Chain A
Amino acid sequence: MTARAWSLVGAVAVLALLIALPEMVRPYYVGLATRMLIFALFAMSLDLLLGYTGLASLGHAAYFGIASYTIALLVVRAGVDSGVAFPAALVAAAALGALFAPLALRARGSYFLMITFALAQVVWSVAFGWRTLTNGDDGMPGVTRPYFGWSLNNTISFYYFALAVVGVAALLMLAIVRSPFGRALRGIRESESRMQALGYDVWRHQYAAFVLSAFFAGIAGALYAYFNRFVGPEYLYVVQSAEALIMVILGGAGTLIGPAIGAALIVFLEDFISSLTEHWVLVLGIIYVLVTVLAPRGLIGLYVDFCQRRSIK
């Protein structure tokens, strides 16, 4: 069987497992799986920028969080229907990306990282400081879940909703990275000057990747607002951005499946370790150090090396 056939079999098996999951585990774990799905989408969206375009952002929580807050503000403050707020949240995330991209794209490497970080902190400080609008660090409870003809108010039905949304978003991202546009992004990651010499408008490609990445992060953020029925400034905080980076790096940048696995693992560990100790961020830091030292290309990189070693034997 070819590698392509194997990955198809793998995808079908994973999908079957995900569909059957609520039958197999307690509702608590269905909720945990929902969070895994949402953060898998968030990590994949960051990887469009980090792994495919070669731009490391430390401000991705801004696009996630602005979508969450758009939902909360529209539903709680303006009384807009929760389902109608969903597209508005995606527009807000993409628009914020379109606004921030020209500023961030003036820099590369660690300077790009610092600018994206600073821009995200601006959004965070607005959410944190504008108490009359956002309740500051108390956050905004009372976010309702959308109603598309059936109720999403129980854990299992919301799980299937999240699975469908994340699945469609993942397929769209897969189509993007496999398109000529996706190939051009990888080319830009490898050599901007060569791509320019070949006639590509590098800036325009990076800009498009930035906005798309913000858009998909927005989908995750909107789902998370529904899931928790609550938003708070921690959705926009640097820890959230850093976690997403670690999810991508742990799983393996430059693939879509890697960040999804990394996200699922981090969400699981966070849940597990938080029940033992309050020092989750410390553990996260240790994970990051271990991965960069032992598996710089992430779990996917380890797996690929393992397969190659076997095929050489």
Chain B
Amino acid sequence: MIALTIDNVSRNFGGVAAVAGISLNIEEGERRVLLGPNGAGKTTLFHTISGNVMPSAGRIALFGFDITRQRPDRRARLGLARTFQITNLFPRLTVLDSVLLALGGVAGDRLQLVEPPTRQRTRYGEASRLLDRWGLAGTAGRIVRTLSYGEQRQLEIALALAGKPRLLLLDEPTAGLSPAETRRVVGLVRELPRDMTILMIEHDMDVAFELADRIAVMHQGRLIAEGDEAAIRANQQVTDIYLGAE
């Protein structure tokens, strides 16, 4: 089954085409990495998938369901989760509250004024298991703002995973992390269940090749190459514009 269909999607900002006619199909359970130099349009493409930016043209489907014009929260409830390139957390809330919010969002909490104690206990249990798994066990009571940068990046991913998404979008999950923290995040992403589809933007080539089943390379808003590691390494155009620049 195709998890995500991106059909000829474009997005213009003023006269500039940040994304110019991208088409991609991502299989269920696939790990796909999006490569490309800065300004290639990767994050804009991500925004059109998550609904933060509406495409100027084209169509996007999630598990065969057209989401092109859906609001971001609706897409989230359909099983799409994302992280942000620039850490986007709740700076003045506690880590526990953040995770409880993440659990409630996809569960479809609507203006919940009363919470049954049994459900509250279940949620707290789930939250602490999630924090354990992402190496944030000791941080539940802390204010998010006081976490280290590495911890905040891990919390980003933990929040995205709280709702057990079917499609996970990771926007540079290892950006700014120390080598040790990067190893940890890569290990955790590898351990995610194989039925979860993952599309990630990654600048670190080693991380990209380690995690990806297939790779798509963007340049100036266009898709210039698609394939497995060997195909990408052998692609002359990719070598010229991207690998050559490293």
Contacts and interface: CB of A to CB of B under 8 A. Distances in A.
A108 interface: no
Contact of A176 (B89, B109, B113): B113
28 contacts: A179-B112, A179-B115, A180-B112, A180-B115, A183-B93, A183-B97, A183-B101, A183-B104, A184-B101, A187-B101, A190-B91, A190-B92, A191-B88, A194-B88, A194-B89, A194-B90, A195-B105, A196-B52, A196-B71, A197-B50, A197-B84, A198-B73, A198-B159, A198-B162, A199-B73, A199-B163, A200-B109, A205-B111
Interface of A: 175-176, 179-181, 183-184, 186-187, 190-191, 193-202, 204-205, 208
Contacts of B106: 198-199
B111 to A, nearest CB: 5
Contacts of A205: 111
Interface of B: 50-52, 71-73, 76-77, 81-82, 84, 88-93, 97-98, 100-102, 104-106, 108-115, 159-160, 162-163
Contacts, number: 99
A180 B109 contact: yes
A256 to B, nearest CB: 16
Contacts of B50: 197
B102 A198 contact: yes
Given A186-B92, A187-B90, A194-B88, 17 more contacts: A179-B113, A180-B115, A183-B97, A184-B109, A190-B91, A193-B52, A194-B84, A195-B101, A196-B71, A197-B73, A197-B84, A198-B102, A199-B73, A199-B105, A200-B109, A202-B73, A204-B111
Given A184-B101, A184-B109, A208-B111, A197 B90 contact: no
The A interface, classified by DSSP as helix, strand, loop or mixed, is helix
A181 B111 contact: yes
Contacts of A195: 73, 101, 105
Contacts of B82: 197
A2 B140 CA distance: 18
B214 to A, nearest CB: 25
A94 B89 CA distance: 32
A187 B112 contact: no
A61 B52 CA distance: 35
Contacts of A190: 89-93
Contacts of A198: 73, 76, 81, 101-102, 105-106, 159, 162-163
The residue in B50, B51, B72, B81 that gathers the most chain A C-beta atoms within 10 A of its C-beta is B72
A209 to B, nearest CB: 9
The residue in A176, A184, A198 that gathers the most chain B C-beta atoms within 10 A of its C-beta is A198
Contact of B76 (A175, A184, A197, A208): A197
Contacts of B100: 180, 183
The residue in A179, A193, A196 that gathers the most chain B C-beta atoms within 10 A of its C-beta is A196
Contacts of A202: 73
B21 to A, nearest CB: 26
Contacts of B163: 198-199
Given A193-B52, A196-B73, A197-B81, A180 B104 contact: yes
Contacts of B51: 196
Nearest to B92: A190
